[in-house]
Amino acid sequence: MRALIPLTLILALMTGCTTTTAQNAATLGTLAGATLGALTFKNKVSGAAIGAGTGLLVGYIVGNEMEKYDAYDERQITNTLETMPSGQASQWTNPDTRMHHQAIPQPARRYDDGRIERDVTLRARMPSGEMETVYAKAYRQPDGTWQLVQ
């Protein structure tokens, strides 16, 4: 039980910080691993510690891979919003996921408060072959990047 107290404190402190996908996945992996370890080992404390360590490692690896995919597609969408004329499709294939994507930006709107917004249609061909379409809004941030809102 004493081993779980520091783990709980670390997790509680981490929740107040801005986290990445890898960190969130590592946190979930730690909690799931500790639970499974405590339930399956005869020595509950040792099982929880071993499970937490294993879950942390696996969760971080999975989350890190997910971030790579997100970052690549995010760069492509940002490039589309910056460079493509309205109504013209931009297409790419993510080299890691091998998923085919398409983004079609609409005309930008500038509001009185200086905010710039652009609608964009995002399409992705799933590994199963079926198409998924998402209609989103993108807002230009003060640093020049675009933030998508669904």
**Residue 72 pLDDT greater than 90, yes or no:** no
pTM of whole model > 0.85? no
CB atoms within 10 A of CB 18: 5
Greater confidence (102 vs 62) lies with 102
Whole-angstrom distance, CA of residue 101 vs CA of residue 123: 6
**Residue 107 pLDDT greater than 50, yes or no:** yes
Of the candidates 67, 3, 57, 4, the residue with the CA atom closest to the CA atom of residue 30: 57
Q: Is the dihedral of CA 22, 58, 73, 132 positive or negative?
A: negative
